[in-house]
């Protein structure tokens, strides 16, 4: 492959071929390199892609247009276009970058594409650069769905599965083909829950994953239509909140009997408490005993002994701690019947 082949793919023949060579020279190779051309090309690319989106999508607002443009000029998108052009075959790299596989690195290839745009701009002006960019991006714009806001296939697949409450996909490299500078990767995208397995191929592992994700998304959408999420969710809620049949539920009378038995068992387990009357008599006896011990007057040894005429009544009064009545009152009391 020669630089003539690359110029044919670009649709532009350089009047100053040194600009193209500089655009293909990485800083690891020496001076002059493509870093300044990359800076210029980045600005031109953003301007042209913005104008293309403005013309293609007349009903999309400014915020969505910005997101679409960011997706189209990001490193991965530039890398995929660079792979289409086969730029890895034309790169001028230092030995270290060659040994580490720099010709396959997305960042190097994306930067090189921007440098080429800058070189075209310097060689022939804005219109020439615009023509080259339009030719490179026209196929890409045909695949852009404004409803997805420029999201890649892997992101769309992940969001779709999450919305359906399904597990995320699994990606695995199953094969690689070709020489080191032009390898083709085959990646399998599988969704075990749906029994979906789709192969995708690309010049890089990431590109192959995107291709596989696009196929898996189509397959998943065919298996799980839009209305499936709601019906499944309703079924799940019904399973969780299912109530027992009427035959299994105890009736009101049975529940009342159970409550009454539980209350009786509680009372039986509780310690016996004295009745109010019993507690009152005990309290009175305790108070009387306390008064007799601490507050009652002790008998005077010089006082005359009590008259024994009252017999048993006096003994009972003394035993109960009651204060005996004065003699005048005692004499006025009627005699008890024998």
Q: Which residues are known catalytic residues?
A: 42, 114
Q: How many residues does the chain have?
A: 338
Evaluate whether 28 touches 94 at the Cβ level (below 8 Å). Answer: yes
- 14: CB partners within 8 A, 6+ apart: 7, 20, 119, 120, 123
Residue 228's alpha-carbon distances to 25, 31, 101, in angstroms, are: 54, 60, 46
Strands 184-191 and 196-202: antiparallel
Question: Residue 24's closest CA among 106, 99, 122, 117?
Answer: 117
Distance separating alpha carbons of residues 178 and 181, to the nearest angstrom: 8
Measured in degrees and rounded to the nearest 5, phi and psi for residue 238 equal -65, -40
Evaluate whether 108 touches 91 at the Cβ level (below 8 Å). Answer: yes
Alpha carbon 155 to chain centroid, angstroms: 16
- 301: CB partners within 8 A, 6+ apart: none
Q: How far apart are the first and last CA of the chain?
A: 151
The DSSP element (H or E) to which 144 belongs, if any, is none
CA dihedral in degrees (74, 80, 81, 87; nearest 10)? 110
CA dihedral in degrees (308, 313, 314, 316; nearest 10)? 140
Distance separating alpha carbons of residues 208 and 230, to the nearest angstrom: 33
Evaluate whether 93 touches 28 at the Cβ level (below 8 Å). Answer: yes
Q: What is the DSSP letter of 304?
A: P
């Amino acid at each position: 492959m020669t630089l003539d082949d690359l110029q044919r793919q670009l649709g532009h023949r350089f009047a100053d071929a040194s600009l193209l060579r500089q655009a293909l020279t990485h800083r690891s190779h020496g001076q002059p390199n493509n870093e300044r051309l990359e800076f210029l090309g980045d600005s031109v690319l953003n301007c042209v892609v913005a104008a293309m989106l403005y013309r293609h999508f007349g009903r999309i607002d400014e915020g969505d247009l910005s997101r679409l443009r960011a997706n189209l000029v990001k490193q991965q998108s530039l890398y995929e276009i660079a792979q289409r052009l086969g730029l890895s075959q034309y790169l001028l790299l230092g030995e270290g970058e060659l040994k580490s596989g720099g010709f396959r690195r997305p960042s190097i290839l994306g930067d090189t594409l921007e440098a080429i745009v800058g070189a075209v701009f310097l060689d022939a002006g804005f219109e020439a650069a615009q023509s080259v960019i339009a030719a490179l991006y026209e196929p890409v714009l045909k695949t852009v769905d404004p409803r997805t806001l420029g999201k890649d296939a892997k992101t769309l697949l992940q969001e779709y599965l999450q919305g359906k409450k399904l597990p995320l996909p699994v990606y695995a490299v199953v094969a690689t083909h070709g020489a080191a500078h032009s390898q083709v990767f085959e990646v399998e995208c599988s969704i075990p829950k749906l029994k979906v397995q789709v192969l995708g191929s690309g010049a890089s592992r990431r590109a192959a994953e995107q291709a596989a994700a696009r196929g898996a998304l189509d397959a998943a959408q065919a298996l799980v239509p839009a209305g499936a999420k709601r019906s499944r969710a309703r079924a799940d809620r019904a399973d969780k909140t299912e109530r027992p049949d009427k035959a299994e539920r105890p009736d009101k009378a049975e529940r009342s009997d159970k409550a009454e038995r539980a209350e009786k068992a509680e009372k039986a387990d509780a310690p016996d408490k004295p009745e109010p009357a019993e507690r009152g008599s005990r309290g009175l006896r305790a108070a009387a005993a306390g008064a007799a011990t601490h507050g009652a007057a002790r008998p005077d040894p010089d006082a005359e002994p009590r008259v024994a005429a009252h017999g048993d009544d006096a003994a009972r009064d003394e035993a109960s701690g009651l204060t005996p009545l004065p003699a005048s009152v005692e004499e006025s009391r009627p005699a008890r019947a024998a």
